Amino acid sequence: MDRLLGEVPQLEVLRAADGAEPVEPSAVLLPTAFGPVKVDVLEVRQVEIDRPSDDPGDRLHATAHAWANDTATDLTIEALSASGSHVEVTTPMAEPGPLIAMKLQAVMNRSAEKQGTDLLDIVRLAFDAATGPVALAQLGEVDAVIAHDIALHVELWFVERRQQSLRRILAAGGADVAADDLDLVAELLADAAHREDG
């Protein structure tokens, strides 16, 4: 997400790297020792936060990415470069709750293949012993408007379009995921996003 004001946009920084190839509209192909890696940069403008859209999908796009940005924790990654030199980078890492919110919103705009991987990621995040409780607690504490939009997307993908979602998940490699799992994910996420006054 590129939301920092007064700084060089992250997309420009990435595209300036040696061997980088721009991918329109807002991505870059970066060379690595394992082949090229596509990095997408999502832009959320402050006006989208200050004046939220009436559309729950557009609104969740902005608020989920802002939530992820605002609550991210620093993660240090260490690696050896091809030349043998030590490389260390510290980067913000999104928390499980915001990750689920972003992936719920992203499903609508993805190819069938990416829908499957996003939905499978949501199932894994919800069921994982480490991330599940954290994600549910975060969803339980997030602003009521974000929680409402999350609940709408949970209903859409895990209830109304449950069979389609299951097919996409299975095609994405989630052979261990069954329809009952989607029911449980729907229940867990909906309960966490529920607000007494909403």
Cβ atoms of residues 30 and 36 within 8 Å: yes
The pairing of beta strand 86-93 with beta strand 21-23: unpaired
Q: Looking at per-residue confidence, does 43 or 104 come out higher?
A: 104
Q: In the predicted model, what is the mean pLDDT of the chain? A: 87
141-154 tens-digit pLDDT: 999 999 999 999 99
Torsional class of 19: left (φ above 0), alpha (ψ -120 to 50), beta (otherwise): left
Residue 75 above 50 pLDDT?
A: yes
pLDDT at 98 over 50: yes
Whether the per-residue pLDDT at 198 is higher than 60: the answer is no
Q: What is the pLDDT of residue 1?
A: 47
Residue that wins the pLDDT comparison between 8 and 79: 79
Domain boundaries, the chain: 1-43, 56-198
Q: How confident is the model at residue 87 (pLDDT cuts 50, 70, 90)?
A: low
Could you give the percent of the chain with pLDDT greater than 90? 50
Residue 5 pLDDT greater than 70, yes or no: no
**Per-residue pLDDT at 80:** 65
pLDDT tens digits for range 117-129: 999 999 999 999 9
